Amino acid sequence: MMAGQLPPAESRPRIVLRFAAEKDLLISGMLAGGSELAGRPAVIDIPVGKGHVVMFSNNPFWRHQTHGSFSLLFNAALNYDNLGAGRPAPRRGPQAQSGRRGENDDQ
């Protein structure tokens, strides 16, 4: 890809979930480096071909400790066919329209 060009909106990575503000990150326990996490992406959806790659900033099943993130992985797995919900519809290129017949084609 050439510098300055962006992929179409329907194929760009989408941030699904962000970490909270630093003051809201810690509920109990310890958190080192919270300022580095604050406001950063936690879950990203990337369309690839006909599918999607869902990236998590943490391991949702790490030592069975992160119960709150289980639903993130289950949601992605169970709704794999609808991960593009809310994205703009793909644009049709000029080649898709060139095969269409117009009203004046019979003249």
What is the tens place of the pLDDT at every residue in 80-91? 888 888 777 766
Instruction: Report how many domains make up the chain.
Output: 1
Tell whether 97 is covered by a domain. Answer: no
In a domain, 91, yes or no: no
Residue 99 belongs to a domain: no
The token pair at 74 is 């289950």
Position 105 in a domain: no
Domain membership flag for residue 20? yes
Range of the domain at 77: 9-85
pLDDT score, position 97: 46
Q: Is there a domain that residue 2 lies in?
A: no
Span 28-80, pLDDT tens digits: 667 778 888 899 999 999 998 888 999 998 888 877 777 778 888 888 889 88
Do the domain assignments include residue 13?
A: yes
The pLDDT assigned to 104 comes to: 47
pLDDT value at position 72?
86
Indicate whether 78 belongs to any domain: yes
